[in-house]
Amino acid sequence: MTLLDAARKVRENAYVPYSNFKVGAALRTASGTVYVGVNVENVAYPEGTCAEAGAIAAMVAAGETELAEVAVIADSPTPVPPCGGCRQKLAEFGAKDTPVTLGTLSGATLKTTIGDLLPGQFDKSHMDNA
């Protein structure tokens, strides 16, 4: 199963009673393990949490911290990029050249990298004088 297929499969578990916009994400770590996540909405926070954040939380909870590849999928006319917060989270755990595949249910894909998604990212080197 490809990483995009894993994201497609888990996407069906998204909890989106307000937007009905399901997003699935799958991450492969340096160890080869795949973690998945979906977006989750609730009445107090109807915009919800992102699929990428859920997959990252599962990865960190399992004791891993190094991304090797990312895939995100949604039912959209064009591939949906991660939100700004998730881009920063991806940058925390992946290198600038870490591949990211964004996909749609109709089969469109966009291949990019974490660095292209978040140019000029804040990283730990910015705190070297602290």
Edge-first strand order for the sheet with 23-29 is 34-38, 23-29, 67-74, 99-104, 109-113
3-125: CATH topology is Cytidine Deaminase; domain 2 (3.40.140)
pTM, two decimals, is 0.92
Are the CB atoms for 51 and 37 separated by under 8 Å? yes
Separation of alpha carbons 34 and 30, rounded Å? 10
Categorize the per-residue pLDDT at 45 as very low, low, confident or very high, splitting at 50, 70 and 90: confident
Range 94-118 average pLDDT: 97
Boundaries of every domain in the chain: 3-125
pLDDT digits (tens, 9 = 90+) for 67-98: 999 999 999 999 999 988 899 999 999 999 99
Active site residue 52: yes
From 52, 64, 66, 69, active-site residue: 52
pLDDT of residue 66 exceeding 80, the answer is: yes
Q: Which is it for strands 23-29 and 109-113: parallel, antiparallel or unpaired?
A: unpaired
pLDDT digits (tens, 9 = 90+) for 4-38: 999 999 999 999 999 999 999 999 999 999 999 99
